[in-house]
Amino acid sequence: MKFYRDSIELKTQKNFQYINITDRVQDIVNKSKIKDGIVFVNAAHNTATVILQEDDSSIHEDTKEIIEELVPLNRKYRHNYEGVINAASHIKNQLLGNSNLAIPVKDGRLFLGTWQQVFLLELLEPRRREVTVTVIGE
Amino acid sequence: MKFYRDSIELKTQKNFQYINITDRVQDIVNKSKIKDGIVFVNAAHNTATVILQEDDSSIHEDTKEIIEELVPLNRKYRHNYEGVINAASHIKNQLLGNSNLAIPVKDGRLFLGTWQQVFLLELLEPRRREVTVTVIGE
Amino acid sequence: MKFYRDSIELKTQKNFQYINITDRVQDIVNKSKIKDGIVFVNAAHNTATVILQEDDSSIHEDTKEIIEELVPLNRKYRHNYEGVINAASHIKNQLLGNSNLAIPVKDGRLFLGTWQQVFLLELLEPRRREVTVTVIGE
């Protein structure tokens, strides 16, 4: 059993942006030389998350619309150090993946469904984000 | 430390069906001969998920009712390749477990609370579904 | 690769209480002597969960308010063995972390963002709760 860890740094451009990081996670799995195991994907943030989803802008926009109705910006929040959007992003993070994922690795490849990809989902505004990728296996 | 992986194939019968897969996950843990570790349960789908819950139809129906109010079918979605229910199922997946679970294994048994069971939750319509079960431990 | 497991027992005082268990999880990582790996945090409950969040009461109250609007107490639920709050807590658990977390360990420390902490979140009423902490790494 082996262990390998690396990180992905990225810059987001806007609120509720899904950034497809599947290839970058796969690159780290490749470097790990681990063929069979699990890859863990963690965002060190309360205001962004990691999530599995299809890489299709229509479902990203639908998700944004529903989530913004569930956690609206046009209401008062107590946690308003950085404005209403900050509190809302904390709540969305708790509803959407909560910054941690575990995905199988099979024959050296992320084992995902045909339409599943790995995303960093920005819940706040343009920011530098860091994703930790940990591979455990053999 | 050992690694073992197998999969569960199943056929769902209807939208929002909870299928209890605890025994089938336990069977794979038994085959692994791993006594202490973690078992990972992953659905390779955006329109079904895996989730921990009680095996009681009343709470399944309550959950369905609430989730269908939060992500209603009677609205327009942009992602409508396969009808409104497809977009809704993608959003429900992101809110409900997002297709990945990690559960402790203790003395060769899934370590769950008295009322906790492992489910595949169908979010779309009757389909063939695949769940990957990975055990890591000693 | 090593494996270590321990548990945290705690008593909650009220509904929707976030109890910061980061130090207790860190203590178990210390005892494990594992420097690099993953720590799994699992609650053996359907009516409480584990979740990553900031340790700030304002965001906890905001989250409570939104979640109680999404899963209200003033409606009928079929699952009412222990009153309406029981059904609601089961649904909130499925929306909020679903009782399982995986967090990187780096140089013997939980690798969290500046504002991320690990919480048990009580979704029912004052109860004894048990959290299982499993460390895998080297």
User: Is any Cβ of chain C less than 8 angstroms from the Cβ of B96?
Assistant: yes
pLDDT tens digit sequence for B47-88: 999 999 999 999 999 999 999 999 999 999 999 877 889 999
Of A40, A70, A98, the CB nearest to C52: A98
- List the 55-94 stretch of A: residues with Cβ below 8 A of C: 70-71, 77-80, 87, 90-91, 93-94
d(CA B27, CA B22): 9
Q: Average pLDDT in the B118-137 region?
A: 98
Q: Is B117 on the interface with C (CB under 8 A)?
A: no
Q: How far is CA A132 from CA B74, C52, C57, C70, C102, in A?
A: 39, 15, 27, 32, 12
CATH number of the domain residue A49 falls in:
2.60.120.460
Task: Specify whether the CB–CB gap between C8 and C25 falls below 8 A.
Answer: yes
Q: In one letter, which amino acid is B134?
A: T
From chain A residues 6-65, the ones with a CB under 8 A of any chain B CB are 36-38, 51-54, 56, 58-59, 61-63
Give the burial class of C6: count Cβ atoms within 10 A of its Cβ; 0-12 exposed, 13-18 middle, 19 or more buried.
middle
Q: For chain C, which ranges sit under pLDDT 50?
A: none
**Which pLDDT belongs to residue A83?**
81
Cα distances (Å, whole numbers) of residue B95 to A94, A98, A109, C32, C99? 9, 10, 26, 33, 14
d(CA B121, CA B79): 21
Q: At C53, list the tokens.
A: 């969040």
What are the structure tokens assigned to C86, written together?
């029981």
> How far apart, in Å, are the Cα atoms of A77 and each of A95, A113, B93, C59, C67?
17, 38, 27, 8, 13
Q: What is the domain count for chain B?
A: 1
Write out chain C residues lying below 8 Å of A132, CB-based: 104, 106, 111
Q: Of the candidates B41, B94, B43, B10, which has an alpha carbon nearest to the alpha carbon of residue A112?
A: B43
- Alpha-carbon Rg of chain C, whole angstroms? 16
Confidence tier at A90 by pLDDT (50, 70, 90): very high
Domain extent at residue A77: 2-137
Q: What is the mean pLDDT of residues B31-43?
A: 98
Longest dimension (CA), chain C: 50
Q: Check whether A129 has a pLDDT greater than 90.
A: yes
Q: Are strands A128-137 and A109-110 parallel, antiparallel or unpaired?
A: unpaired
What's the mean pLDDT when you consider all of chain B? 97
Question: Binning pLDDT at 50, 70 and 90, where does residue A65 land?
Answer: very high
| 3-class DSSP assignment, residue C60 | helix
Between A61 and A82, the higher pLDDT residue:
A61
pLDDT tens for C100-130 read 999 999 999 999 999 999 999 999 999 999 9
CB contact under 8 A, A3 and C58: no
Instruction: Extract long-range pairs of A77-82: CB within 8 Å, 24+ residues apart.
Output: A77/C58, A77/C62, A78/C58, A78/C59, A78/C61, A78/C62, A79/C56, A79/C58, A79/C59, A79/C62, A80/C58
Please report the pLDDT score of residue A82 as a whole number.
Answer: 78
User: Residue type at B25?
Assistant: V
| Contact call for B44 and A113, based on CB within 8 A | yes
Strands (E), chain C: 2-11, 18-20, 37-43, 48-53, 100-106, 109-110, 117-122, 128-137
